């Protein structure tokens, strides 16, 4: 090593030390009564104590030691974790504006560039969210029009299950296709055949990005972005983004060619009409192609992955607990009979409703929630949290809060039933998060879950394949940003 290299390396570490001391000054100032934390190591922070495959589990354990508000540091990422129903609810609901931002996360910023809804900031987020909610309602979210599309998709899904004639099959691609068609019908104004290669490629890109976003290589990259060349997952995500965004851009160009503001057929049409209005008024606004591409990408990710993942958990849990499956089937037979399930049936089906809610609670598919950031300096429950702090409202700690749930780690539909068997709402049921950044597709997801689940249980009994006992079914979630079940095979036997 020559003297030039030695000086360069020395200067780098001097710069790094100064940088860390400067950025840590407010973080380490105990006079401000910052939340407690475990001891950190230079450069690594708390990395060595974290389960990087499932960091939410380590956070949950740390909450037992340090309380419902504590700090951790992962590389250069400084995080405040909020744990337990009361603390998470107080932050996200009672102090909604103060906890309404998103943090700057390296790879999320590279992919979304501050556009769209999910990871955007400030006024851009407000405008895009407001428009998207309005447009989704216009295209039937929560209304009979979208319910009709879901029931038609249920019929296709049932025929697909029937095609296996009771033989074992894996349902990931099928469930993704069925659920994916609902959001695609809203966004693009069409539906795809399940085997369509373009549709399958679209689903693969979306799902791969969702899972990789929570993988250890991406988490490490976000902590140490200077070493990005070491992490292949980053390259896969950026290549997927390029292909996915290319598909979206090609699609809305096609929509632009046939655009009729008096006959808007899809979400993209509505966005393009607003874009034309801005250009006509010569306004420097938010309805540009970058936001359109990012919003559509957000809708695909949120509208495809989470609902299909929940339904796959539901089927797995019905095989694991056949007695519960039988009770659901009996209620369906008694209330619906052979008629097409509709949303108005839900009010008369407390047990089925309780089972669906318990699937969402037990499956815990977004355990660490989507990260928040503080918009202001705030003293919260006696602790000082600076503006711009990366916040993890630990959703798994809410859905498994031992002070809120009788059997937090068991699948127990009675969590949502009173002594008379009537459905009971629970305040700690928070799978869609809460506050300003609550999932905007909650209404659609609830409708999909009820209609797909009841339609399938009306027609089929789900059993394990021959040679596999229900006791051997694995309920360990896969690794990723969301927590799907491990791939499994099922037998869908027609109900007599």
pLDDT band at 49 (very low <50, low <70, confident <90, very high): very high
Q: Can you say which residues are annotated as belonging to the binding site?
A: 439
Stronger pLDDT, 144 or 295, i.e. the higher one: 295
Pairing of β 460-463 and β 77-82: unpaired
Given a contact cutoff of 8 angstroms between Cβ atoms, the answer to whether 202 and 300 are in contact is: yes
Given a contact cutoff of 8 angstroms between Cβ atoms, the answer to whether 199 and 192 are in contact is: yes
Given a contact cutoff of 8 angstroms between Cβ atoms, the answer to whether 410 and 97 are in contact is: no
Token representation of residue 466: 């021959």
- Confidence (pLDDT) at 29: 52
Token representation of residue 128: 């895009």
Q: Is residue 355 in some structural domain?
A: yes
On the question of pLDDT at 23 being above 70, the answer is no
Q: Are residues 1 and 119 in the same domain?
A: no
Q: Is residue 171 in some structural domain?
A: yes
On the question of pLDDT at 308 being above 50, the answer is yes
Given a contact cutoff of 8 angstroms between Cβ atoms, the answer to whether 256 and 93 are in contact is: no
Q: Are residues 141 and 259 in the same domain?
A: yes
Q: Are residues 20 and 162 in the same domain?
A: no
Residues 6+ apart with CB under 8 A from 12: none
Range 354-366 average pLDDT: 97
On the question of pLDDT at 381 being above 80, the answer is yes
Q: Are residues 22 and 121 in the same domain?
A: no
- Confidence (pLDDT) at 262: 80
- Confidence (pLDDT) at 260: 80
Q: Are residues 11 and 139 in the same domain?
A: no
CB-count exposure of residue 281 (10 Å: 0-12, 13-18, 19+): exposed
Q: Are residues 324 and 212 in the same domain?
A: yes
Q: Could you read off the pLDDT of 250-265 as tens digits, one per residue?
A: 988 888 888 888 888 8
Q: Are residues 7 and 132 in the same domain?
A: no
Per cent of the chain over pLDDT 90 is 80
- Confidence (pLDDT) at 19: 45
Range 337-366 average pLDDT: 97
On the question of pLDDT at 283 being above 80, the answer is no
Q: Can you say which residues are annotated as belonging to the binding site for heme?
A: 439
Q: Rounded to whole angstroms, how far apart are CA atoms 408 and 345?
A: 28
- Confidence (pLDDT) at 133: 93
Give every strand in the sheet of 69-74, ordered side by side.
69-74, 77-82, 390-393, 372-373
- Confidence (pLDDT) at 30: 52
- Confidence (pLDDT) at 10: 41
Element (H, E) at 379: strand 378-380
Given a contact cutoff of 8 angstroms between Cβ atoms, the answer to whether 221 and 228 are in contact is: yes
On the question of pLDDT at 386 being above 90, the answer is yes
Pairing of β 77-82 and β 390-393: parallel
Q: Are residues 413 and 301 in the same domain?
A: yes
Range 118-136 average pLDDT: 94
What number of other Cβ atoms are within 10 A of residue 42's Cβ?
7
Q: Are residues 305 and 211 in the same domain?
A: yes
- Residue 160 C-beta-side C-alpha neighbours within 13 Å: 21
| 3 state SS of 10 | helix
CB-count exposure of residue 382 (10 Å: 0-12, 13-18, 19+): exposed
Handedness of CA 352, 357, 359, 365 (dihedral sign): positive
User: Quick one: which of 422, 426, 419, 494 has its CA closest to 460?
Assistant: 494
Q: What share of the chain is helix, strand, coil (3-state, %, to 5)?
A: 55, 10, 35
The CATH number for 192's domain is 1.10.630.10
Q: Are residues 15 and 112 in the same domain?
A: no
Given a contact cutoff of 8 angstroms between Cβ atoms, the answer to whether 141 and 186 are in contact is: yes
Alpha carbon 271 to its chain centroid, in Å, reads 24
Range 62-73 average pLDDT: 97
Angle between helix 289-320 and helix 172-187 axes, rounded to 10 deg: 150
Mean pLDDT of the chain: 91
- Confidence (pLDDT) at 143: 77
pLDDT band at 17 (very low <50, low <70, confident <90, very high): very low
CA dihedral angle for residue 93, residue 430, residue 453, residue 457, rounded to 10 degrees:
-140
Handedness of CA 461, 141, 250, 191 (dihedral sign): positive
Q: Rounded to whole angstroms, how far apart are CA atoms 281 and 347?
A: 48
Residues 6+ apart with CB under 8 A from 322: 463, 470
Q: Are residues 146 and 9 in the same domain?
A: no
Given a contact cutoff of 8 angstroms between Cβ atoms, the answer to whether 181 and 153 are in contact is: yes
Q: Is residue 357 in some structural domain?
A: yes
Given a contact cutoff of 8 angstroms between Cβ atoms, the answer to whether 43 and 76 are in contact is: no
Q: Rounded to whole angstroms, how far apart are CA atoms 121 and 115?
A: 8
On the question of pLDDT at 274 being above 70, the answer is yes
On the question of pLDDT at 12 being above 80, the answer is no
Window from 22-26, 243-247, 271-275, 374-378 with minimum mean pLDDT: 22-26
Classify 373 in phi/psi space as left (phi over 0), alpha (psi -120 to 50) or beta. Answer: beta
CB-count exposure of residue 2 (10 Å: 0-12, 13-18, 19+): exposed
pLDDT band at 156 (very low <50, low <70, confident <90, very high): very high
pLDDT band at 27 (very low <50, low <70, confident <90, very high): low
On the question of pLDDT at 5 being above 60, the answer is no
Q: Is residue 150 in some structural domain?
A: yes
Q: Rounded to whole angstroms, how far apart are CA atoms 373 and 385?
A: 10
The dihedrals phi and psi of 158, each to the nearest 5 degrees, come to -60, -45
- Confidence (pLDDT) at 205: 93
Stronger pLDDT, 189 or 283, i.e. the higher one: 189
Q: Is residue 343 in some structural domain?
A: yes
DSSP-derived secondary structure for 31-92: GG-PPP----BTTTBTGGG--SSSHHHHHHHHHHHH-SEEEEEETTEEEEEE-SHHHHHIII
Range 398-417 average pLDDT: 97
CA dihedral angle for residue 111, residue 116, residue 119, residue 122, rounded to 10 degrees:
130
Which residue shows structure tokens 């089937």?
329
Paired residues of 73 in beta bridges: 78
Which residue shows structure tokens 């069925």?
178
- Confidence (pLDDT) at 18: 44
Q: Is residue 2 in some structural domain?
A: yes
Q: Is residue 59 in some structural domain?
A: no
Q: Is residue 454 in some structural domain?
A: yes
pLDDT band at 436 (very low <50, low <70, confident <90, very high): very high
Domain with 194, as residue range(s), is 104-362+404-494
User: Considering its fold, how many domains does the chain have in total?
Assistant: 2
Handedness of CA 332, 366, 448, 446 (dihedral sign): positive
Q: Are residues 186 and 311 in the same domain?
A: yes
Range 210-239 average pLDDT: 88
């Amino acid at each position: 090593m020559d003297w030039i290299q030695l000086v360069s390396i020395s200067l780098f570490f001097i710069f790094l030390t100064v940088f860390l001391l400067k950025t840590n000054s407010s973080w380490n100032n105990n006079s401000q009564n910052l939340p407690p934390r475990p001891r950190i190591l230079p450069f690594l922070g708390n990395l060595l104590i974290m389960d990087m495959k499932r960091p939410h589990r380590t956070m949950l354990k740390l909450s037992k030691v340090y309380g419902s508000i504590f700090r951790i540091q992962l590389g250069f990422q400084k995080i405040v974790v909020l744990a337990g129903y009361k603390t998470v609810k107080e932050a996200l609901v009672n102090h909604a504006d103060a906890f309404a931002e998103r943090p700057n996360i390296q790879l999320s910023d590279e992919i979304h560039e501050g556009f769209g809804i999910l990871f955007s900031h400030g006024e851009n987020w407000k405008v895009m969210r407001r428009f998207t909610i309005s447009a989704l309602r216009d295209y039937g979210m929560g209304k009979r029009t979208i319910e009709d599309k879901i029931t038609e998709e249920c019929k296709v899904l049932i025929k697909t299950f029937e095609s296996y004639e009771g033989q074992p099959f894996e349902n990931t691609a099928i469930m993704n296709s069925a659920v994916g068609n609902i959001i695609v019908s809203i966004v693009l104004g069409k539906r795809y055949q399940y085997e369509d290669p373009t549709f399958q490629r679209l689903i693969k890109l979306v799902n791969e990005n969702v899972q990789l976003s929570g993988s250890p290589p991406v988490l490490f990259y976000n902590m140490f972005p200077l070493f990005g060349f070491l992490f292949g997952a980053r390259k896969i995500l950026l290549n997927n983004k390029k292909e996915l965004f290319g598909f979206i851009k090609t699609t809305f160009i096609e929509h632009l060619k046939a655009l009729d503001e008096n006959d808007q057929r899809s979400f993209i049409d509505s966005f393009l009409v607003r874009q034309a209005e801005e250009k006509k008024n010569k306004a420097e606004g938010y309805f540009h192609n970058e936001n359109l591409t990012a919003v559509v990408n957000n809708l695909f990710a949120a509208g495809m992955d989470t609902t299909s993942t929940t339904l796959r958990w539901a089927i797995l849990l019905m095989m694991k607990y056949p007695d519960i499956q039988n009770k659901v089937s009996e209620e369906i037979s008694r209330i619906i009979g052979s008629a097409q399930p509709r949303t108005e049936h839900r009010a008369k089906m407390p047990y089925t409703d309780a089972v669906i809610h318990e699937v969402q609670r037990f499956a815990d598919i977004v355990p660490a929630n989507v990260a928040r950031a503080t918009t202001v300096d705030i003293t919260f429950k006696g602790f000082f949290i600076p503006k711009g702090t990366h916040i993890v409202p630990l959703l798994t700690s809410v859905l498994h809060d031992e002070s809120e749930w009788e059997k937090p780690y068991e699948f127990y539909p009675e969590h949502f039933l009173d002594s008379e068997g009537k459905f009971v709402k629970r305040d700690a049921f928070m799978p869609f998060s809460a506050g300003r950044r609550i999932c905007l597709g909650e209404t659609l997801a609830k409708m999909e879950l009820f209609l797909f689940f009841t339609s399938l249980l009306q027609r089929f009994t789900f059993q394990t394949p021959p040679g596999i006992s229900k006791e051997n079914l694995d309920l360990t979630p896969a690794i990723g940003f969301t927590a799907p079940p491990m791939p499994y095979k099922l037998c869908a036997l027609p109900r007599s």
